[in-house]
Amino acid sequence: MDRREALAKATITTSDATAGLLDPEQGRAFIKALKENTSLSGRIRQEIRTSSSGEINKLATGSRIIRSATENADDGYRVGATFDTVEYSTRKIRLPWEITEDVFHENIEGEGLEADLTGEMTTQFALDLEDLEINGDTTSGNAFIQINDGILKLVADENVSGRNIDGSTINSGVWSDAHMFESVQAMPNVHRNRPGLTWIMSPARKIQWWESIVDLSNASGEALLLGQSQLQQTPLGIPILEVPSMPDTTVLLANPRNFVRVISWQVRKRRVTGATDAELAALDKRFYVFFIKTDVIVEEFDAVVRVHTLDAV
């Protein structure tokens, strides 16, 4: 059973269990940990909302908005601003786990082990959440993936003209500089030179890119092997962000802050022991579960280029 299936595993009913909402400080610490324990999620925007569904405002001022000025005169010109919105709808997700009382008795840390386990589970929760935010697909038959639509599905469904590139038609599907040039050219000028533009790819895809440089058998390949070349980190002057949850067959060109994680401020942490649950008492176990309501949205689809159907590494 992999971790995606384990996340969806049936859990013991906790209707009679002692539980509660984390206080604000604990809630903030938990949400902060979710960002810090991941690569892409640590770079995307995060919005906290009290409502399970609603809208995120986008402020736009347009371009070429400045005008000439004449001393002691006002021509009445004023700049306008538009406030577009992106809808969100958070989904409730959970991470349950069990542990026997024997572990606490036989471990040198004793009861202190509980804090360590909670920290480890929080880290795994963050990794799974990032996986879902990237690969989620409500049409999937996988119990984990179908929880919500992720960034790749959202971008594919929006299908902005020219921003979804079939990588199999370029260099026989093998990731190359040709894919990079095609991606940069597909990005609108208004977004192309803004700070934050990033190649988002799997670690295996990045290694394959390095190999292609070395295979050129020139000074660039030698410099890369010696760690003396920025080519390894910034092809075409754009930094690479390695994201373990990204599929090898897809690469994104985008500013990570164009993706927004929305969290309903309702982080719940439940802990049940044999003192309140007969079944757990019979098994001499403790049961824990985290709940959170979250969604991921793309603010500007026009500012994302997706290269798909690349050859597997």
Of 255, 250, 246, 292, whose CA–CA distance to 44 is shortest?
255
pLDDT of residue 15: 33
Q: Distance of alpha carbon 101 from its chain centroid, rounded?
A: 35
Cα separation, 103 vs 81, in Å, equals 60
| DSSP states of 249-282 | T-EEEE-GGGEEEEEEEEEEEEEE-TTT-HHHHH
Alpha helices in 54-112 (DSSP H): 101-106
Task: Report the length, in residues, of the chain.
Answer: 313
**Three-state secondary-structure class, residue 135:** helix
Q: Is the dihedral of CA 132, 135, 141, 146 positive or negative?
A: positive
Whether 126 contacts 33, CB under 8 Å: yes
Task: Give the chain's residues under pLDDT 70.
Answer: 1-27, 58-67, 77-84, 107-111, 216-217, 219-221, 227-231, 265-266
Instruction: Give, for 158, the enclosing helix (H) or strand (E).
Output: helix 151-158
How far apart, in whole angstroms, are the C-alpha atoms of residue 181 and residue 174? Answer: 14
Report domain extents, the chain.
Answer: 3-59+82-150+258-298, 158-257+302-308
* CATH number, domain 158-257+302-308: 3.30.2320
Give the pLDDT confidence score for residue 114 in this predicted structure.
Answer: 76
Rg (CA), the chain: 24
φ/ψ region of 227 (left if φ > 0, alpha if ψ in -120 to 50, else beta) reads left
Residue 176 CA to residue 178 CA, distance in Å, equals 5
Measured distance CA(268)–CA(292) in Å, rounded: 7
Neighbours of 224 (CB within 10 A): 20
Phi, psi (degrees; rounded to nearest 5) at 118? -60, -40
Q: Which of 51, 39, 76 is nearest to 241 (CA)?
A: 39
pLDDT (0 to 100) of residue 20: 46
What confidence tens digit (pLDDT) does each residue in 154-176 have? 999 999 999 999 999 999 999 99
Q: Determine the pLDDT at residue 3.
A: 41
Distances in whole angstroms, Cα of residue 35 to Cα of each of 25, 51, 239, 260: 16, 21, 20, 12
Distance CA 274, CA 284 (A): 6
List Cα–Cα distances, 76 to 56, 61, 68, 198, in angstroms. Answer: 32, 18, 12, 41
Superfamily of domain 3-59+82-150+258-298: Major capsid protein gp5 (3.30.2400.10)
Which of 210, 214, 211 is closest to 232 using CA atoms? 210
Phi-psi bin for 298: left (phi > 0), alpha (psi -120 to 50), beta?
beta
pLDDT, position 64: 62
Q: What is the DSSP string of 209-236?
A: HHHHHHTT-SHHHHHHHTT--GGGT-GG
pLDDT at 198 (0 to 100): 97
Model pTM? Answer: 0.77
